[in-house]
Structure 1
Amino acid sequence: MPVREPSATGTDELARPPGRPPADHGRRWSPFGRADHIALASALVLIALASGVGFWLDDHGFDLVLPTPPLLAFWSPHVGWGTPLALLALLLGLQLQRRAAEIRWGRLLLLGWLLNLGWLVSLTLVDGFRRGWVDVLLDPNEYLHDLPRITDVHTFLSTFSEHIRYGDQPAQAWTTHVAGHPPLATLAFWALDRLGLSGGFWAGALCILVGSAAATALVVLVRELAGEEPARRLLPLAALFPGAVWIGVSADGLFAGVALSGLALTAVALTRGDGELTRRPRTARASAGLAGGLLLGATAYLSYGLVLLGVVVLLIVACGWRRRGTIALRDLGVVTGGALLVAAAFTLAGFDWFTGLAELSVRYRTSVASQRPYGYFVWANLAAFLISCSPLLAVAVVRSVAVLRSRADSTRAGRRWSAAPEGDVAVALLCLSGVTAALIADISGMSKAETERIWLSFGVVAFSGLALLRGRAARWALIGSAGTALLVNHLLDTGW
């Protein structure tokens, strides 16, 4: 079907009928359209309101346990020897963005991953080597605290749920983060310790290294669903993802790396892809499907809440069905089989996922969450989410909605042309699937505060919407999103 490329200047161009020349945007002071400005301003207002109301609630007897609402952070302006490295990463990102359309795909992916890894390390070192890296996971609330209690894997798994809630002997309960997640998260650090890589440095390095897979996996996912052009536009932006502030160093960054890799491999298995990957051998698809299923299964045993990424999986399945019909079901069976293998292994070892979730719900509602008012956090969570993804996420959401409306209007009118390219439609759906997962988590009431970190996986998926930006808008978005991370990291002590 013939398509027309939408303008980089805003969403209004999506509605321009064929034959009419585009508006003269040469004198615009901003590459963004009116809807973009409204979205960005609304995001900033939401963040300001969440901060102001949060401080007011704290002053009037509501203990939010948030030093700087809506974030779990302390006001602490500082610089570190990671500061010049982070600025260098931003400059390299701008250079990579200028050349992204020319570099061979494989090399571009490698450069994007290296840039993201450097970005993670540099932001971590802004807080100092010990404070920003080594000491983070040595906190008594973190996973390493309970590793000495694990004598063997079978006993750990079979009795794990018994120690989630406080009960009659609070001292026997797992520490905060161990109790708050399925056991695979703790087992990952236990295995690292058994390999002789003990302590905060190696645990932090694991989070950074695995977390660095998230941005690259997102770009691969976009390529599989939307094509190579939007993936190339997204890569520099994803490499400097602002949520990197919380990826290094936190286990949630590790979760994001595993989850996004699982989604990307699932897309490789189920969708037709693009370019030289259009027709993959059956064995390659099966291998990708099995690996994707295993990683998605592992994701469910790393974090209960990440099962909401099933929304994204449904989108991938729908794309596979649309492109390949019932043939995609065979590969879906392989993906499902991989995920079920992980579930079966944990169940046979003695851990019941649903029992663990039920026990966690009891502990959660009798812990600090009971002090945090739902009426505030149900919207303040979104402000924290916007900070983690940068307020430009609001622009991505508005553009995604505009793309889908344009496609729907074209379909209803029976037009042969569409104002939105197929790739943009796929990007829009992917962006909104990440936002949908976050909204479901928000409404559940099981995420009161700290969503800047807890929702990292949802944020990475939603960040794909910035691939809808082109030209000057994309360049300013890169500066704005990376600038958000630099401001947060240098003005606040996030504890991560």
Structure 2
Amino acid sequence: MTLSPAHSATDGDRRQIPLAALPDPPAPVRRSADLLALAGALTLIAVAAVVGRVLSARGAQLFLGDPPLLGSWAPHVGWGTPVAVACLVVGLRLQRVAPALPWRRLLLAGWLLNVLWLCSLALVDGFQRGWARVLLDPNEYLQDLPRIAGPLSFLRTFTGFIAFSDTVDGTQVWPTHVAGHPPLATLVFWGLDRIGLDGGAWAGALCILLSSAAAVAMPVALRELGAPDSARRLVPFAALFPGAVFMAVSADGLFAGVAVGGLALVCRGAARGEVAAGLLGGLLLGAALFLNYGLVLFGVVVLVAGLVGVARHGLRPVLRAWSAAVAGVLTVTALHLLAGFAWWTGLAQLRIRYYQGIAAVRPYSYFVYANLAAWLLACSPLLAVGAVRSVGALVAGRGRPWSQDRVVALLALAGVLAAVLADLSGLSKAETERIWLAFGVVACSGLALLRGRAASWALLGSAGTALLVNHLVRTGW
């Protein structure tokens, strides 16, 4: 087995690698392409902001504070500010030592940094506004928990109260976020309430804890797919993921953590022949489907990861783990069906509810590009650089043996493709800064293609985006 230099630090680290690492030669770098990609992303954001203001001034009903984000311009600082800045400094240091740290220690450092990053960004707005009261909004999940007598009756009757009808009025219909997601999302918070951890502060803490799983899971997925050096380069970017502004105290961050965690487990199961890991990963991916309808498009990422595994190892070595993963997804689906909830029926009712509200008047012609602008602003305009690097890596690698860059490029572009498909669906008009967080986590892996000073500047710019957004805009999360 041939190991790259970054994985020859310790014998203990070597024993954790079940498969030979792929070659890690850097793809040809064209600085002009990087700059054009970044300029293109910034231009898209600027156009969405300017056009959004013009449309609003002309009477268009965008229902945004300061386009393209759902928020309002309000420069501010808080006692989380110095901690967030310190996190950036620590992240830059972590980036320098990442090649030499034992893998598990690196993952632990990345996870701890991410938790602190999430907490500090939330606390820039203060504990009450930035954490404890966020999920107490009347449109959020905690609003109707007293209505739920038990999980079985809730699942059985859930779809009947998603959309307005002749028999269901505004006093009976589920609040916006409850109606807008499958019932498992609400049941998570109901369960937390049942065990005595009630209120917005505990719910926010759960969101932060599960959101942080994504910072570990994405590097693990890359490593298990044969890109260990790339995984190490990704850890600092994942730890200081700019989308943390919208992940902390947001159920969408929780959803992202579950989905990316499922991906990592399935990749591990396929790489190491661990059926149990594949099954657990499938259960998490199945749960993700019943947390957020839009995460059905995360299947694009899962499919690409599966194809990478097959291309590298052949079908038979990975078949058992992937079969177990499919069984896990089907198990979650079957349990919901037996309890009385059909995913497709819920989605059909949601489409009705969606166009009973402000989505009916929000112009698709604007949001079809403003959605992407909001996503880039939340997850960093540098995602465009990662995407261009990914395309370059695939082009440069044509006709050559598999490399780590090819694995990273395929996963990153899968995340971008999932977001584009969600955009074209028309079921996302605004608020994509949080709705597409799971896709952003995956697309962020493209930044692992950067090396040396370019990677340092990218980490500074990526995390700096989060600091600017968090301190200049009052968001709803």
Using structure 2 for the length normalisation, give the TM-score. Answer: 0.93
Change (3 A) 1:59 1:151: same
The RMSD of aligned alpha carbons is 1.4
> The residue matched to 1:486 in structure 2 has which SS?
helix
Q: 2:307 aligns with which of 305, 318, 325?
A: 318
The one-letter amino acid paired with 2:287 is A
**Preserved contact between residue 226 and residue 427 of structure 1 (Cα < 8 Å):** no
Farther off after superposition, 229-238 or 217-226: 217-226
Residues 82-231 of structure 1 mapped to structure 2, 5 A cutoff: 82-168=80-166, 169-231=169-231
Runs of 4+ with deviation above 3 angstroms:
1-4
Aligned to 1:292: 281
Structure 1 counterpart of 2:55, from 54, 57, 61: 57
Relative distance call for 1:372 and 1:227 in structure 2 (3 A) is same
Match of 1:304 in 2: 293
Q: CA deviation at 1:320?
A: 2.2
Distance (Å, rounded) in 2 between the aligned partners of 1:258 and 1:4: 29
- What are the within-5 Å matches in structure 2 for residues 418-429 of structure 1? 422-429=403-410
SS at match of 1:133: helix
1:372-383 → structure 2 map (5 Å cutoff): 372-383=362-373
2:22–2:403 CA contact under 8 A, matched in 1: no
How far residue 61 of structure 1 moved from its aligned partner, in angstroms, is: 1.1
For structure 1, the 5+ residue unaligned runs are: 13-32, 273-279, 412-416
Q: Contact 1:266–1:316 (CA<8 Å) still a contact in 2? A: no
Q: Which residue of 2 aligns with 1:337?
A: 327
- Taking the aligned partners of 1:373 and 1:185, their CA distance within structure 2 comes to 28
**Which residue pairs with 2:12 in the alignment?**
none
- Residue 471 of structure 1 corresponds to 452
Q: Residue deviations 1:105-156, cap 9 Å, x none?
A: 0110000000000000000000100000000000000000010100111110
Report the counterpart of residue 26 of structure 2 in structure 1: 6
Match of 1:34 among 32, 35, 45: 32
On the 8 A contact 2:211/2:253 being kept in 1, the answer is yes
**CA–CA distance in 2 between the matches of 1:422 and 1:2?**
5
In the other structure, the counterpart of 1:352 is 342
Secondary structure of residue in 1 paired with 2:345: helix
Shift of 1:3: 6.3
Rounded to whole Å, the distance in 2 between the matches of 1:255 and 1:5 is 34
Tell me how far apart the structure 2 counterparts of residues 452 and 268 of structure 1 sit (CA, whole Å): 29
SS in structure 2 of the partner of residue 493 of structure 1? strand
* Offset at residue 11 of structure 1 (A): 2.7
Residue by residue over 1:145-175, the C-alpha shift from the partner in whole angstroms, topping out at 9 and shown as x without a partner, is 0101001111100000000001132211000
**Matched letter for residue 427 of structure 1:** V
Query: TM-score when scaled to structure 1?
Result: 0.90
SS at match of 2:25: coil
Aligned position for 1:441: 422
1:473-492 correspondence to structure 2 within 5 Å: 473-492=454-473
Supply the distance in 2 between the matched residues of 1:307 and 1:160 (Cα, whole angstroms).
Answer: 20
Partners of 1:156 and 1:181 in 2: CA distance: 14
1:292 and 1:2 map into 2 onto residues whose CA distance is 24
> Is contact 1:181–1:302 with CA below 8 Å preserved after alignment?
yes
Q: CA deviation at 1:493?
A: 0.5
User: How do residues 232-271 of structure 1 correspond to structure 2 at under 5 angstroms?
Assistant: 232-270=232-270
Aligned residue identity for 1:68: D
Mapped contact 1:93–1:115 kept (Cα < 8 A)? yes
Distance 1:407 1:289 in 2: 29
Counterpart-to-counterpart distance in 2, 1:329 and 1:257: 25
Distance apart, 1:4 and its partner CA: 7.5
Equivalent pair of 2:24/2:404 in contact (CA under 8 Å) = no
Assess if the C-alpha contact under 8 Å between 1:144 and 1:189 holds in 2: yes
CA distance in structure 1 between the partners assigned to 2:165 and 2:445 by the alignment: 43
SS in 2 for 1:459: helix
Equivalent residue letter for 1:118: L
**Could you tell me which amino acid in structure 1 is paired with residue 448 of structure 2?**
A
Find the aligned partners of 1:68 and 1:394 in 2 and give their Cα distance: 22
The equivalent of 1:276 in structure 2 is none
Report the 3-state secondary structure (helix = DSSP H, G, I; strand = E; otherwise coil) of the residue aligned with 1:326.
helix
Aligned partners of 1:84 and 1:138: how far apart in 2?
27
Q: Distance in 2 between matches of 1:105 and 1:249?
A: 29
C-alpha contact (below 8 Å) 2:24/2:403 kept by paired residues: no
| 8 Å Cα contact 1:163-1:173 kept in structure 2 | yes
Deviations along 1:54-100, one digit per CA (max 9) or x if unpaired, are 00000011010001100001111100000000011001101111100
With over 3 angstroms needed to count, the CA separation of the structure-2 counterparts of 1:226 and 1:43, relative to structure 1, is farther
Q: CA–CA distance in 1 between the matches of 2:121 and 2:327?
A: 38
Contact kept, 8 Å, 1:225 with 1:427, in 2: the verdict is no
| CA drift at 1:324 | 3.5
**Cα distance in structure 1, aligned partners of 2:404 and 2:83:** 34
Structure 1 position 458 matched with structure 2 position 456 = no
Q: In the alignment, residue 353 of structure 1 is paired with which amino acid? A: W
Shift of 1:326: 1.9
Please give the secondary structure, in 2, of the residue aligned with 1:172: coil
For residues 396 and 226 of structure 2, the distance between their equivalents in structure 1, rounded to whole angstroms, comes to 17
Q: Provide structure 2 residue ranges, at least 5 long, that are not aligned to the other structure.
A: 1-20
Seq. identity, % = 60
Deviation, 1:215, is 1.1
Following TM superposition, by how much is the alpha carbon of 1:2 offset from its aligned partner in structure 2, in angstroms?
11
Deviation, 1:403, is 0.8
Could you say if the C-alpha distance between residues 61 and 317 of structure 1 is closer, same or farther in structure 2, counting changes exceeding 3 Å? Answer: same
Q: Is the 8 A contact 2:25 2:403 kept in 1?
A: no
Relative to structure 1, the CA distance from residue 107 to residue 157 in structure 2 (aligned partners, 3 Å threshold; closer, same or farther) is same
